[in-house]
Amino acid sequence: MVVKRNTWKLLFSSACRSLKDAIKAAIPQKQEQLKCLKTQHSGSSLGEVKVENVIGGMRGLKAMLWDASVLDPEEVSLLTALPWQQLPPAPGGKEIIAESMLWLLLTGKVPTEAQTRALSRDLFERGKLPSFVETLVDSFPKTLHPMTQLGMAVASLNHDSLFQSAYEKGMKKSEYWEATLEDCLNLIARLPALAARIYRNVYYPGRQMLELDSSLDLVGNYSRLLGYGDNHSLTEYLRLYIALHGDHEGGNASAHTAHLVGSTLSDPYLSYSAALFALAGPLHGLANQEVLRWQMAMQKEIGEDVTHERIKEYLWKTLKSGQVVPGYGHGVLRNPDPRFIALQQFCDSKPELEESTIVRLVKMTYEVAPSVLKEHGKTKNPYPNVDATSGCVLHHYGLKEFKYYTVIFGVSRALGCLTQLVWARALGLPLERPKSLSLDAIEHLAKA
């Protein structure tokens, strides 16, 4: 795609212009706030840096600007910091949808129903994959991990990056965010068709790919393309799952990777493809698969006679074998993950999930595990995180391909990573470049 200087602005749809105007209205206040921090508080301390911060994965180190959400160990997360329960659902649904969460993350404001529907329509119009990407994805071997396929395909979309093209032809720094927004919306819009195509190729080769439906929201279309469009409960669950997983502060591996790569002025496609490869790691995006395997192993050993006492025995067996209890603990939170509570409330509202053996086992484990972990004494947070239940619900509704679960996570996490990339460009954030130290240097400083 050839884009002449500034002509990319003409590509914004009316719905996007409404969203763009809302962002533009919020930018001056944020820029002024940043300016005041620079001029009045540049020398202020945000806390000390300890050796444990440097050698412990930088945990707890306050060293990154991410404006959408802040996790407080005791109480605050995306769910409690933002008015997510006020967000418009899909027509005929009750759960929040990606479009309303996207608007909220970009503007800090709750969209009207009309704005949400217009954004759904805009994303539909952007959602068709370029033919070269379809050809590329169809050429991948079925044995290639779905997340590898997703990351490669997202990177290939930079062929049509409006930011990259406009940057090469000359663009004011003050305009970076606008071209970035256009790329980000295009990427978010194309993720359902891309992720569904990978699902089809790996698990159901030869099955016809459906076209996007203009009457559906982003996740409604995703569910339909996966082959679950007639399953209203699974579609509603996917809406909630994707909205709630969209943003979780900036320090997690995928969000931080997107921010780091984006700080080099790489386009959103390259930045987010890097984030996806971080998400593919076992210590980040694979957690709900590990929980499901562990719960199913417990179910197999306990059998039909499920009691709190037998769950407690299995928990101690896991811990005494040197393993951790998957789905419990969190890098920041020290109370039950609000996202876990929200998904459990969804389960409690569905009779079929209340009767599900695996979902009931998750709930009963939650009733026992915290006390066991407290007694064990080696876990800072003995409470469940969102992974403790998320994969089990997917499995109940028939989406049982474990390796694919992280792809769904990847569709979701784009909401937070890409919206903050827009804001990084709007605020003119610099290239990220922390100082590294050798073991000898750390030892020397620690002893000084």
Query: 147, 256, 159: which is closest to 191 by C-alpha?
Result: 147
Count of Cβ atoms closer than 10 Å to residue 418 Cβ: 28
Q: Compute the distance between CA of residue 285 and CA of residue 411 in angstroms, rounded to an integer.
A: 12
| DSSP letters for 155-193 | HHGGGG-HHHHHHHH---GGGHHHHHHHHHHHHHHHHHH
Query: 286, 284, 288: which is closest to 256 by C-alpha?
Result: 284
CB 80 within 8 A of CB 96: no
Which sign does the torsion angle of CA 249, 251, 254, 255 carry? positive
CB 81 within 8 A of CB 108: no
Question: Exactly one of 160, 256, 387, 395 is catalytic; which is it?
Answer: 387
Question: Exactly one of 330, 337, 395, 396 is catalytic; which is it?
Answer: 330
CB 185 within 8 A of CB 123: yes
Query: 232, 149, 68, 78: which is closest to 410 by C-alpha?
Result: 149
Report residue 303: phi and psi, to 5°.
80, -155
Whether 145 is catalytic = no
Whether 41 is catalytic = no
Q: Which helix (H) or strand (E) holds 93?
A: none
Residue 151, both tokens: 């990351």
Question: Exactly one of 67, 145, 284, 376 is catalytic; which is it?
Answer: 284
Q: Compute the distance between CA of residue 373 and CA of residue 382 in angstroms, rounded to an integer.
A: 5
Burial of 65 (0-12, 13-18, 19+ CB in 10 A): middle
Helices (H), 42-89: 51-55, 78-81
Q: Compute the distance between CA of residue 198 and CA of residue 405 in angstroms, rounded to an integer.
A: 12
Beta bridge partners of 384: 328
CB 255 within 8 A of CB 249: yes
What residues contact 356, with CB distance under 8 A and at least 6 apart? 396
- Any idea which residues carry the catalytic annotation? 284, 330, 387
